Amino acid sequence: MLELAILGFLAEEPLHGYQLRHRIAQLSGHARPVSDGSLYPAINRLVNAGLLDRQTEPGTSAAQRHTLYLTAAGRRELLRRLRGTDGLDISDSTRYFTVLAFLSHLPNTAEQHAVLRRRLEFLEQPASFFHDGGRPLGADDTDDPYRRGMLIIARATSRAERSWLREALA
């Protein structure tokens, strides 16, 4: 997802590494901070694969700045990754929200809707954090106030998202 976020933000405009890290951190939130130790190796992999171009420019102080640009191959890779959204990229909310942030880069509505339909199909399956045998437990099935809270919040979030997805697909 880090590479998808890099490609997605650079599809919008060229950025310096610091700007890119800041935008990715805002997207992923406090739960998944982006360290230089993960960002810059990912950038280097993408540069080495020909998906990004790095240009050195004079900085405001003595240090030079490196501006990152998405190449044509990088744009094709971004679109390939968005079209192929499946599995964990659909079921994990944080990963899915990264996909959703850049879904408008897909050139046609049918491709965008295919991704949204996969998410909706996932959300319509019975699910829970807790199970009794093979049966998912709902908020009414537990006396633990914190587990009940988790289940109530998850249910409300899922309902809101399913509603939005149906509206977007209509």
Spatial distance between the Cα atoms of 51 and 25, rounded to a whole number of angstroms: 21
Spatial distance between the Cα atoms of 66 and 72, rounded to a whole number of angstroms: 19
The alpha carbon dihedral of 67, 2, 166, 118 has a sign of positive
Per-residue pLDDT averaged across 145-163, rounded?
95
- Residue-level pLDDT at 94: 86
Phi-psi region of 168 (alpha: psi -120 to 50; beta: other; left: phi over 0): alpha
% residues pLDDT > 70 (the chain) = 96
- Both tokens of residue 22? 């800041």
Spatial distance between the Cα atoms of 55 and 10, rounded to a whole number of angstroms: 13
- Residue-level pLDDT at 31: 56
Going by pLDDT thresholds of 50, 70 and 90, the confidence category of residue 14 is very high
The pLDDT tens digits of the residues spanning 69-98 come to 999 999 999 999 999 999 999 999 889 999
Per-residue pLDDT averaged across 159-168, rounded?
97
Count Cβ atoms within 10 A of the Cβ of residue 121 and give its class: 0-12 exposed, 13-18 middle, 19 or more buried: exposed
Res 27 pLDDT > 70: yes
Going by pLDDT thresholds of 50, 70 and 90, the confidence category of residue 157 is very high
pTM of the model: 0.87
Per-residue pLDDT averaged across 112-126, rounded?
95
Count Cβ atoms within 10 A of the Cβ of residue 56 and give its class: 0-12 exposed, 13-18 middle, 19 or more buried: exposed
Spatial distance between the Cα atoms of 128 and 78, rounded to a whole number of angstroms: 32
% residues pLDDT > 90 (the chain) = 71
Going by pLDDT thresholds of 50, 70 and 90, the confidence category of residue 30 is low
